[in-house]
Amino acid sequence: MKKKIGMFFGAAFALVTSIDTANAQVKVPENITALMNKYTCSACHRVDARLVGPAYTDVSKKKYTDAKIVELIYKPVPENWPGYPPMAPMTQVPKEDALVLAKYINSLDAKAKK
């Protein structure tokens, strides 16, 4: 019984943490999708839709630098996003991967203007 419950929760977690790029309005590169899933970003964020956390397109509109986004990944500031639950610090994300994600997030603002 425990094994079946564990399998159920494992499958549910995989479903929740898999980013749905098929329904996204913005094409998400495979390497970005892989990072979002690996570090469970996709459990709370979508590229162009509010979920638990803000859409990445909304984050890009804040005009944070790449370095600031990396900093916020490690030390979120809930006051920056009223109306959302506080984000947990994502200290398990290596800086190189956080920077790749930050650059992608900031690229979304430029894409939205086209």
Question: Among 39, 21, 26, which residue's Cα sits nearest to residue 108?
Answer: 26
| Torsion angle, alpha carbons of 62, 63, 64, 66, to 10 | 130
Q: Are 107 and 35 in contact (CB under 8 A)?
A: no
Compute and round to an integer the Cα radius of gyration of the chain.
15
Q: Which two tokens stand for residue 90?
A: 């994502």
| 41 annotated as ligand-binding | yes
| 87 annotated as ligand-binding | yes
Q: Are 24 and 16 in contact (CB under 8 A)?
A: no
Question: Among 40, 49, 31, 51, which residue's Cα sits nearest to residue 92?
Answer: 40
Query: Residues forming the annotated binding site?
Result: 41, 45, 87
Query: Residues forming the annotated binding site for heme c?
Result: 41, 45, 87
